[in-house]
Structure 1
Amino acid sequence: MVSVSNSKTVSVSIKRKPNEVYDYIFNPENLPKWAGAFSLGISKSSTEGEWIVETPEGPVKIRFVERNKFGVLDHYVSPAPDQVILNPMRVIPNSSGSEVIFTLFQLPDMSDEKFSEDAGLVESDLRSLKSALEG
């Protein structure tokens, strides 16, 4: 049986070239600068390509997909050893600027209220990203 989760896709338009936006987001050390609702701090993990993010709920592991020319910034968040959450994210051209797109999925044990709250936090973080990049 095939199942699907509730999802919400949020986006923000940024007046910067797509490669500049991509490079900024792809650098995990920038995460606390624009994703303050999620990241209070970040440090490299001992595992290659993995980072430890200090969140309001405690430390979580994060790993981005490999650098690519398609603007894909999907990342995997592991709040617990047996839990891996995919966060699809893209940077695409919008005229001469960029559009950043993030899709949030409602987890099986997540209430509708918590899902709505998380979506609001993602929207806030994307507005912060826009501010950081448009200065």
Structure 2
Amino acid sequence: MRSRHISTVIPAPASEVYAFAAEPSNLPRWAAGLAQSAVQMRGDELIASSPMGEVVVRFVPRNEFGVLDHAVELPTGTIVTNPLRVLAHPDGSEVIFTVRQIELTDDEFERDCDMVAADLGRLRDIFSGARDAPGA
């Protein structure tokens, strides 16, 4: 099984990026690979309509370390654990997502990596002066 770390630097403090990314209602604004429309909360679980169908997402509790790891239960019942970090960076913050090739062909893995890169790009754009930036 291969893993790939995908990252982007965002011109905003890590605490702000973390707070935005950790808010479930913000997921459709930047994480289209996970949530294509408004998400529903069921206790601590997040229910989202994704490109794969309906998924159940369980994030680690909010923390001061920038950890946004989450487990995604796919429609097939497979659970994929996704490491996601928001780190301080000299230019603001860096968001790092680890994609793992679990039950994916090489082409599917590349597609997933491209989707994650696009998601992180949308998150970066939100904090790069885009009109829908937090607080704008």
TM-score, structure 2 length as denominator?
0.89
Match of 2:63 in 1: 68
Whole-angstrom distance in 1 between the partners of 2:33 and 2:45: 20
Match of 2:12 in 1: 16
Match of 2:34 in 1: 38
Whole-angstrom distance in 2 between the partners of 1:33 and 1:78: 21
Any unmatched runs of 5+ in structure 1? none
1:123 aligns with 2:117: yes
Match of 1:77 in 2: 72
Whole-angstrom distance in 1 between the partners of 2:52 and 2:86: 28
Count of matched residue pairs: 129
Question: Percent of aligned pairs with the same residue?
Answer: 38
User: Residue deviations 1:69-125, cap 9 Å, x none?
Assistant: 111000110013732110000011101510000000001x21001001100110011
User: Residue deviations 1:45-89, cap 9 Å, x none?
Assistant: 43x210111112211001110011111000110013732110000
Match of 2:108 in 1: 114
TM-score, structure 1 length as denominator?
0.89
Is contact 1:42–1:52 with CA below 8 Å preserved after alignment?
no
SS of aligned partner of 1:42: coil
Match of 1:57 in 2: 52
1:89 aligns with 2:84: yes
Whole-angstrom distance in 1 between the partners of 2:72 and 2:33: 15
SS of aligned partner of 1:110: coil
Structure 1 moving runs of 4+ over 3 Å: none
In structure 2, do the counterparts of structure 1 residues 36 and 80 end up closer, same or farther at CA, with 3 Å as the change threshold? closer
Shift of 1:25: 0.4
Whole-angstrom distance in 1 between the partners of 2:46 and 2:118: 22
Any unmatched runs of 5+ in structure 2? 130-136
